[in-house]
């Protein structure tokens, strides 16, 4: 439940102040993966049938907690900086995002008509929301939930496109790892302010992600598969029929 997040001081003035600003979320994700089983233990204990009342309750509670933490700037007294950092890198301010994901999965929204195949509409709605609604702790929570729905809709609007064009090469983790580094380099070199630069970053990101998958991730996964102990084949049942030995019987003639 603990992680070390540290950016060396010499990177404070490099790029936007970090070599990859998105990697801090890994610590939060790992925390929630440890909390998730506890949530389902409570669900099995207190929920009857397959209702989602517990998840609705946790969702509302987590939104309230996120709003409270965002507004409580002086709530923690003299130690607010240290405690604020501890809370910032815990799962508490972001629990509503994970609970929202659980609800979307349990409600099977990818089967809904307004979700499946409607990615373009949800993307437009998200962009309108982000550009017209002023940034605020409450509106920011709304944008994250809208983004979650938009992501699910995007994944189920053309579900075969990744297999068709990427040939089952999963580049998503590589994109997550390398895009921030490229952005920092471009900002440091002052290559900013143009759509052409954005396209270059996009192309380079996917190229690095492909190299990473082909020469690092895929070999590592194959190595892991080879390391797993091979299961012995199940013993075959042998049906042994008893040997039938013919017995010669001498029949004596009946004597009258």
Higher pLDDT, 255 or 137: 137
pLDDT at 72: 73
Residues 1, 31: contact at Cβ < 8 Å? yes
User: Residue 35 and residue 29: Cα distance in Å, rounded?
Assistant: 10
Q: Note the pLDDT tens digit of each residue in 174-196.
A: 999 899 889 999 999 999 989 99
Per-residue pLDDT averaged across 196-212, rounded? 94
Q: What integer pLDDT is reported at residue 255 of this predicted model?
A: 52
Report how far apart, in Å, the C-alpha atoms of 28 and of each of 23, 126, 168, 255 are.
10, 24, 28, 103
pLDDT of residue 252: 55
Res. 73: pLDDT tops 60: no
Q: Helical H runs in the chain?
A: 25-46, 53-71, 80-88, 95-106, 119-132, 137-155, 161-166, 172-188, 195-212, 218-227
Res 18: pLDDT: 77
pLDDT tens by residue, 135-167: 888 899 999 999 999 999 998 988 877 778 777
pLDDT for 200 equals: 95
Residues 40-49: what's their mean pLDDT? 83
**32 near 98, Cβ under 8 Å?**
yes
Rounded to whole angstroms, how far apart are CA atoms 88 and 28?
9
Q: In terms of pLDDT, which residue wins out, 39 or 248?
A: 39
- Other CB atoms within a 10 A radius of the CB of residue 18 amount to 18
DSSP string, 197-248: HHHHHHHHHHHHHHHHIIIIIHHHHHHHHHHSPPPPPPPPP---PPPPPP--
Residue 211 confidence (pLDDT): 93
Is the predicted pLDDT of residue 1 greater than 60, yes or no?
Answer: no
104 token code pair: 């979307």
Q: What is the mean pLDDT of the chain?
A: 83
pLDDT above 70 as % of the chain: 82
Residue with tokens 């143009």: 194
CB 152 within 8 A of CB 126: no
Q: What is the pLDDT of residue 57?
A: 92
Question: How far is residue 31's CA from residue 2's CA, in Å, rounded to a whole number?
Answer: 8
Contacts of 71 (CB under 8 A, 6+ apart): 137
Better-predicted residue by pLDDT, 17 or 133:
133
Q: Say if residues 20 and 177 touch (Cβ distance below 8 Å).
A: yes
- What average pLDDT does this structure show over 27-55? 86
In contact, 17 and 183? CB cutoff 8 Å: no
> How far is Cα 174 from Cα 156, in angstroms, rounded to an integer?
22
| Lowest pLDDT segment from 32-41, 48-57, 146-155, 204-213 | 48-57
pLDDT per residue as tens digits for the range 84-123: 777 888 899 999 999 999 999 999 999 999 999 999 999 9
Q: How far is CA 119 from the centre of its chain?
A: 19
Residues of 159-174 as b/e, b for ≥16 C-beta within 10 angstroms?
A: eeeeeeeeeeeebeeb
For residue 256, the model assigns a pLDDT of 44
> For 47-68, what is the mean pLDDT?
87
């Amino acid at each position: 439940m603990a992680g070390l997040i540290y950016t060396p001081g010499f990177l404070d003035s490099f790029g936007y102040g970090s070599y990859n600003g998105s990697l801090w979320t890994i610590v939060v994700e790992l925390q929630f993966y440890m909390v998730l089983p506890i949530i389902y233990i409570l669900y099995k204990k207190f929920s009857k049938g397959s209702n989602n009342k517990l998840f609705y309750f946790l969702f509302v509670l987590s939104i309230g907690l996120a709003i409270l933490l965002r507004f409580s700037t002086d709530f923690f007294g003299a130690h607010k900086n240290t405690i604020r950092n501890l809370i910032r890198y815990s799962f508490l301010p972001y629990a509503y995002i994970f609970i929202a994901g659980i609800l979307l999965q349990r409600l099977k929204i990818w089967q809904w008509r307004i979700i499946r195949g409607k990615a373009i509409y949800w993307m437009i709605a998200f962009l309108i929301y982000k550009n017209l609604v002023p940034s605020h702790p409450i509106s920011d929570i709304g944008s994250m939930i809208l983004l979650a729905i938009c992501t699910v809709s995007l994944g189920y609007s053309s579900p075969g496109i990744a297999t068709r064009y990427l040939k089952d090469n999963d580049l998503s983790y590589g994109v997550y790892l390398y895009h921030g580094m490229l952005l920092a380099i471009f900002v440091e070199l002052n290559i900013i302010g143009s759509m052409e630069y954005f396209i270059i970053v996009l192309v380079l990101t996917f190229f690095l992600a492909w190299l990473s998958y082909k020469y690092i991730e895929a070999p590592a996964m194959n190595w892991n598969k080879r390391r797993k102990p091979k299961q012995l084949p199940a013993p075959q049942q042998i049906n042994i029929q008893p040997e039938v030995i013919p017995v010669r019987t001498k029949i004596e003639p009946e004597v009258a």
